[in-house]
A = this chain, B = another copy of it.
Amino acid sequence: MFTKETYVSRRNRLKKQVGSGLIVLLGNEQSSMNYKDNWYHFRQDSTFLYFFGIDRAGLVAVIDVEANAEVIFGEELTPDDIVWMGPQKSIREQASEIGVGLTKPLATLDSYFQHALAKKREIHFLPPYRPENLLKLSSWLQTAPASIKSMASVPLIKAVVAQRSIKTPEEVAEIEKGINTTVEMQIAAATLARAGMTEAELAGQLQSIAIKGGGNLAFPTILTVNGQILHNHYSPTVLQEGQLVLVDCGAASATHYSGDLTRTFPVSSSFSAKQKEMYAVMMTAYEQAVAMLKPGVKYKDVHLQACTQLAEGLKHLGLMKGDAQEAVAQGAHALFFPCGLGHMLGLDTHDMEDLGEEYVGYAEDQTKSTQFGLKSLRLARALEPGFVLTVEPGLYFNPDLIELWSAEKVHADFINYEQVAGYKDFGGIRIEEDFLITPEGSRVLGNPLPRNMEEFRQFAR
């Protein structure tokens, strides 16, 4: 929780920027696993947290810009609820703590919106990503569910993105709490990993550290000996000597700000020669990318520079050939790096992802590429002080993709498929750190964590 003044001033700026109409921000509800009352851990909506800070299920906030009025709608607990949930703060009390004087029962929302529709008020809302909120909007606005997303308010999206993109020092401090717990998770991974244990066992240990940290996982842990599969989470697969473990994990702080760090380390205490040289190629690209981070630089250029450096390195190893810059322009490097270099980080790990990449990651004069690889770049715009973002180059040897491209001789001018064939079982490596863009350049966030995991592994044993 931040101060009352922080929330009040965020909302005032929002009202000013949106200018008119009703702003409707929906909190999240509990999410059911296998029956209604069996819940996943509660996660409040990030934009709701940003403007209202109340970490409680089932709330809806409405800001009437013209009337300069703010209401939080929700159901207060009944005396019966005491038995099951114990004494809790009332919604009225929680609203008052963040500067909202008026609360009303949820049941009054229907007539509230009927009234607003009758008066032809503008109703601003964000694109819903949870079906229950889609259903609610559909009912209030008397519009089919399928049409709701297209009615989301662009002025509201832009106003929210403008504020949430620039992190205040208080927010950076919260992000660093998330990162510091993530550092502990990474240290535990490197310390506890042993041949014979399963990915799931190690991943469970990391989650326990995230929970101990006061939050929970910010996203499902990727912990795998098959790092070439980008969104492989974890499985009952047993770790074996000689394999690499890729760990991409993040804890959320108690206030739900996210850390996001990746390390790749050998199950054995040392890299093989082949692993070592590949790691070095990745690290050079990483260092070059980090050196470029400063206000005004387009993140797309940082991405392309990292890709070019990866291609140069692969050329040096004999896996690629020809001009590296041209190879990247044509997308040949994407066989080994089919994704983007990084993304905004904040209350969400992919910060504000559902508000639309065209608003969050791209400037108005930038269009997203359709090229394989580059189309997955989430952040392209010029950097500004206060941005927090990740830098996460990697090298992935996906045997299915290699076979596919090899059979069709895709980008054969730039790829030595004969050499690449010898890397089909290499797996995947990635490194990831989180950065704040400062007026002068950038600052890596959180407590230090060794980037050379071989040294670290030997030390830990």
Determine if A134 is an interface residue (Cβ-Cβ < 8 Å): yes
Name the residue of chain B whose CB is nearest to the CB of A41.
B220
Cβ contact within 8 Å between A398 and B83? yes
Give the shortest distance, in Å, between A195 (CB) and chain B (any CB): 16
Name the residue of chain B whose CB is nearest to the CB of A205.
B208
Task: For the complex, give the distance between the alpha carbons of A401 and B226 in Å.
Answer: 54
- Inside 8 A of A353's CB, which chain B residues have their CB? 35-38
Cβ contact within 8 Å between A85 and B229? yes
Cβ contact within 8 Å between A200 and B220? no
Interface residues of A in 374-428 (CB under 8 A from B): 398, 400-401, 404
Task: For the complex, give the distance between the alpha carbons of A350 and B38 in Å.
Answer: 9
Cβ contact within 8 Å between B214 and A236? yes
Interface residues of A in 130-161 (CB under 8 A from B): 130-132, 134-135, 138-139, 145-146
- Taking A37-B353, A130-B32, A348-B34 as contacts, is the C-beta distance between A211 and B219 under 8 angstroms? no
Task: For the complex, give the distance between the alpha carbons of A445 and B229 in Å.
Answer: 40
- Inside 8 A of A129's CB, which chain B residues have their CB? 32, 34-36
Interface residues of A in 13-55 (CB under 8 A from B): 28, 31-41, 43-46
Cβ contact within 8 Å between A211 and B220? no
Give the shortest distance, in Å, between A113 (CB) and chain B (any CB): 16
Cβ contact within 8 Å between B212 and A198? yes
Cβ contact within 8 Å between A212 and B200? yes
Determine if A169 is an interface residue (Cβ-Cβ < 8 Å): no
- Inside 8 A of A34's CB, which chain B residues have their CB? 28, 43-46, 129, 256, 347-348
Give the shortest distance, in Å, between A337 (CB) and chain B (any CB): 11
Task: For the complex, give the distance between the alpha carbons of A226 and B38 in Å.
Answer: 20
The listed residue (B33, B35, B43, B230) touching A84 by CB distance below 8 A is B230
- Inside 8 A of A131's CB, which chain B residues have their CB? 130-132, 134-135
Task: For the complex, give the distance between the alpha carbons of A39 and B219 in Å.
Answer: 7
Determine if A60 is an interface residue (Cβ-Cβ < 8 Å): no
A: interface residue count bin: 35 or more
Determine if A86 is an interface residue (Cβ-Cβ < 8 Å): yes
Task: For the complex, give the distance between the alpha carbons of A84 and B373 in Å.
Answer: 12
Determine if A264 is an interface residue (Cβ-Cβ < 8 Å): no
Name the residue of chain B whose CB is nearest to the CB of A200.
B211
**Total copies of this chain within the assembly:** 2
- Inside 8 A of A43's CB, which chain B residues have their CB? 33-34
- Taking A135-B135, A204-B209, A205-B208 as contacts, is the C-beta distance between A231 and B35 under 8 angstroms? no
Max chain B C-beta neighbours (<10 A), residue from A44, A204, A207, A214 = A204
Cβ contact within 8 Å between A201 and B207? no
- Inside 8 A of A200's CB, which chain B residues have their CB? 211-212, 214
Task: For the complex, give the distance between the alpha carbons of A348 and B212 in Å.
Answer: 27
- Inside 8 A of A325's CB, which chain B residues have their CB? none
Give the shortest distance, in Å, between A27 (CB) and chain B (any CB): 11
Task: For the complex, give the distance between the alpha carbons of A40 and B350 in Å.
Answer: 15
- Inside 8 A of A130's CB, which chain B residues have their CB? 32, 131
- Ordered by A's residue number, 21 sampled pairs between the chains whose C-beta atoms are within 8 Å are A31-B31, A32-B129, A32-B130, A33-B43, A33-B219, A34-B45, A34-B46, A34-B256, A35-B354, A37-B353, A38-B219, A82-B404, A83-B398, A84-B231, A86-B226, A86-B228, A135-B135, A138-B145, A198-B212, A204-B210, A207-B207
Q: Which 7 A-B pairs have the closest CB atoms?
A: A204-B211, A204-B208, A86-B229, A131-B131, A208-B208, A201-B212, A131-B132
Q: Give me 14 other A-B pairs in contact (C-beta within 8 A), A31-B40, A35-B46, A38-B349 excluded.
A: A33-B43, A34-B256, A34-B347, A36-B353, A38-B220, A38-B348, A38-B353, A84-B230, A85-B229, A86-B398, A130-B131, A131-B134, A204-B209, A207-B207
